[in-house]
């Protein structure tokens, strides 16, 4: 073994000198410095893009498709995503889409040497039409696959927007009658109440539609629609208690009101407003939310006004303390399936969408019943059931090429708090000495609605993030690609 002391003194390893202040500063800057911006701003436009004529054709197509999507019930995020995917498929980039609920603007920045193109269209009255929505989504997918020329896409869009509805008005009227009947069965009504609720729901649908076509404001349409089932309930109570008609002795008129309220609540876009809020489309979300509040206020005003009128006439309608959901699980599940099917037909859904809506709605309702049986509050039961609806709707919609919005919107109808709304309004009228009691009940109904909207949106988020071709959720990747 070599003696360590016998080594050559010049063979020792040299100790590096201590770093200077400049080196320490460089190391510190490298340690704390970040990478490229995840969402770069102020990027150059597409100066070497396609010709002006092709660009105008593509932008016009994207604008019209976006307008049609919004008009048929699509959310702001899904509409923006579809327009960007469509225009990108035809080679037009550097595009900006702005949606403000009643309008859509598409702007194409083409650099400093070419004039920008900016066009805007006003969105007509919104109406849920899931058959058209499905066809519009299929058009976007075909354009992405490269199987659709730009001129053929324009012709196909014309055929979609001018096509007749898949169901006649009579079928839609019958679907709304079925919706009212199934809601009455879900609330434990007997055969007579089911029939009366079906007739009342049909009358509500027809009245609201006729008033809307004649230019009546939506608030007053909702108020008139809510007054109809309340008037029927008042009449039933008068026949049973004042005239002592034996046929109506054991009837519960509150079921008719609750089912009529749910029929009116089913058409509101509470899910869309929550989704737009989470997707950061705050202006559109604020408009949708305010619309939901105004139309819900119309329902409350209609019920409140009719109950107050009945009191002035000496008819003091009493809400049944026994009013609750059906205790028969088979009847309850069948009613939930019928409700989702009826609403899907009324919203012009396709055959596959109707079947999927029934399966998803029934599954979520079974989960809600199980949670309620184990002591969960109505808000938690509705929220978790809506979470299941959102997840299943997004998964099935992506795999089977049907609008997930259609499945989710139909699936939540059995969960809507029509009974709670009616009970709160009834307490405001009949317990004037304690308005806080009715206000608290109505606040509980609002919380149920928020739980449903939030649950559907939260449940759909994982599927939307993994969805192939989603432009908005992959904005960071796109931005970084443009920098390379």
- Average of pLDDT values for 148-172? 92
Between 11 and 44, name the one with better pLDDT: 44
Residues 6+ away with beta carbon under 8 Å from 195: 181
Please choose, from the candidates 140, 148, 102, the residue with its C-alpha nearest in 3D space to the C-alpha of residue 121.
Answer: 102
pLDDT at 321 over 50: no
Confidence of residue 355 (pLDDT cuts 50, 70, 90): very high
Confidence of residue 477 (pLDDT cuts 50, 70, 90): very low
Determine the pLDDT at residue 198.
94
Confidence of residue 247 (pLDDT cuts 50, 70, 90): confident
- Measured from the Cβ of residue 58, the count of other Cβ atoms closer than 10 Å reads 26
Question: pLDDT tens digits, residue range 267-291?
Answer: 777 777 777 877 778 888 888 888 8
Asked which of 24-38, 70-84, 151-165 is least confident by mean pLDDT, the reply is 24-38
- Average of pLDDT values for 245-254? 79
Between 71 and 320, name the one with better pLDDT: 71
Determine the pLDDT at residue 150.
92
Q: In sequence order, what DSSP letters do the residues of 260-325 get, joined into one string?
A: HHHHHHTTS-HHHHHHHHHTT-HHHHHHHHHHHHHHHHHHHHHHHHHHHHHHHTT------TT---
Residues 6+ away with beta carbon under 8 Å from 341: 178, 354, 357, 358, 410
Do the beta carbons of residue 390 and residue 440 sit within 8 Å? no
Confidence of residue 333 (pLDDT cuts 50, 70, 90): very high
Confidence of residue 400 (pLDDT cuts 50, 70, 90): confident
Distances (CA, A) of 157 to 55, 97, 119, 134, 402: 17, 19, 18, 12, 18
Query: What's the predicted TM-score (pTM) here?
Result: 0.81
Give CA–CA dist 393/382, Å, rounded. Answer: 16
Between 40 and 202, name the one with better pLDDT: 202
Confidence of residue 9 (pLDDT cuts 50, 70, 90): low
Determine the pLDDT at residue 481.
45
Do the beta carbons of residue 186 and residue 339 sit within 8 Å? yes
Structure token digits, residue 467: 């969805």
Question: pLDDT tens digits, residue range 228-243?
Answer: 999 998 898 888 887 8
Domain boundaries, the chain: 52-164, 169-465
Confidence of residue 196 (pLDDT cuts 50, 70, 90): very high
Give CA–CA dist 226/221, Å, rounded. Answer: 9
pLDDT at 114 over 50: yes
Do the beta carbons of residue 285 and residue 273 sit within 8 Å? yes
Determine the pLDDT at residue 12.
55
Question: pLDDT tens digits, residue range 58-97?
Answer: 999 999 999 999 988 888 888 998 999 999 999 888 788 9
Confidence of residue 450 (pLDDT cuts 50, 70, 90): confident
Residues 6+ away with beta carbon under 8 Å from 289: 273, 277
Confidence of residue 1 (pLDDT cuts 50, 70, 90): very low
Do the beta carbons of residue 75 and residue 133 sit within 8 Å? no
Do the beta carbons of residue 128 and residue 349 sit within 8 Å? no
Determine the pLDDT at residue 466.
63
For 177-219, give the secondary structure using H, E and C: HHHHHHHHHHCCCCHHHHHHHHHHHHHHHHHHHHHHHCCCCHH
Determine the pLDDT at residue 62.
93
Determine the pLDDT at residue 7.
53
- Average of pLDDT values for 170-176? 93
CA atoms within 13 A on the CB side of 344: 30
Q: Of all residues in the chain, what percent carry a pLDDT higher than 90?
A: 31
pLDDT at 202 over 90: yes
Strand order in the sheet with 117-122: 95-99, 103-108, 117-122
Between 321 and 148, name the one with better pLDDT: 148
**3-state helix, strand and coil shares in percent for the chain, rounded to the nearest 5:** 70, 5, 30
Structure token digits, residue 87: 């225009």
Confidence of residue 153 (pLDDT cuts 50, 70, 90): very high
Do the beta carbons of residue 311 and residue 174 sit within 8 Å? no
Q: End-to-end CA distance of the chain, in Å?
A: 60
Mean pLDDT across the chain, nearest whole number?
Answer: 83
Give CA–CA dist 2/478, Å, rounded. Answer: 65
């Amino acid at each position: 073994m070599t003696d360590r002391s016998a080594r050559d003194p010049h063979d020792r390893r040299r100790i590096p000198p201590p770093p200077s202040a400049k080196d320490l500063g460089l190391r510190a800057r490298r340690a704390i410095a970040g990478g490229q911006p995840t969402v770069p701003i102020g990027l150059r436009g597409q100066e070497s893009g396609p010709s002006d004529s092709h660009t105008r054709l593509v932008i016009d197509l994207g604008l019209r498709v976006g307008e049609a999507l919004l008009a048929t019930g699509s959310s702001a995020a899904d509409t923006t995503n579809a327009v960007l995917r469509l225009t990108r498929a035809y080679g037009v980039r550097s595009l900006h889409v702005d949606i403000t609920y009643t309008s859509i603007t598409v702007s194409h920045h083409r650099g400093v040497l070419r004039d920008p193109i900016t066009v805007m269209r006003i969105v007509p009255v919104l109406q849920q039409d899931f058959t058209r929505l499905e066809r519009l989504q299929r058009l976007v997918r075909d354009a992405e696959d490269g199987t659709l020329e730009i001129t053929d896409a324009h012709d196909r869009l014309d055929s979609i927007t001018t096509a007749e509805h898949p169901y006649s008005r009579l079928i839609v009227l019958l679907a709304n009658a079925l919706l009212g009947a199934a809601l009455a069965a879900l609330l434990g009504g007997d055969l007579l109440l089911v029939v009366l609720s079906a007739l009342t729901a049909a009358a509500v649908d027809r009245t609201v539609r006729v008033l809307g076509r004649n230019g009546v404001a939506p608030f007053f349409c909702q108020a008139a629609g809510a007054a109809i089932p309340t008037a029927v309930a008042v009449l039933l109570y008068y026949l049973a208690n004042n005239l002592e008609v034996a046929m109506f002795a054991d009837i519960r008129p509150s079921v008719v009101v609750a089912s009529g309220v749910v029929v009116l609540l089913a058409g509101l876009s509470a899910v869309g407003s929550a989704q737009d809020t989470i997707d950061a489309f705050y202006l559109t979300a604020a408009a949708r939310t305010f619309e939901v509040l105004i139309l819900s206020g119309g329902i409350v005003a209609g019920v409140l006004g009719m109950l107050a009128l009945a009191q002035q006439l000496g008819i003091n309608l009493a809400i049944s303390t026994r009013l609750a959901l059906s205790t028969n699980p088979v009847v309850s599940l069948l009613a939930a399936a019928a409700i989702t099917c009826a609403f899907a037909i009324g919203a012009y859904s396709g055959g596959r969408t109707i079947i999927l809506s029934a399966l998803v709605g029934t599954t979520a309702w079974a989960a809600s019943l199980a949670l309620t049986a184990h002591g969960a509050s109505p808000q938690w039961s509705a929220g978790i059931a809506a979470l299941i609806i959102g997840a299943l709707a997004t998964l099935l919609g992506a795999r089977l090429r049907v609008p997930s919005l259609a499945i989710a919107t139909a699936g939540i109808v059995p969960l809507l708090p029509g009974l709670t709304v009616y009970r709160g309004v009834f307490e405001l009228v009949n317990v004037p000495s304690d308005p806080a009691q009715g206000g608290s009940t109505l606040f509980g109904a609002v919380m149920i609605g928020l739980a449903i909207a939030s649950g559907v949106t939260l449940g759909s988020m994982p599927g939307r993030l993994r969805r192939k071709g989603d432009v908005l959720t992959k904005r960071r990747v796109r931005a970084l690609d443009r920098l390379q």
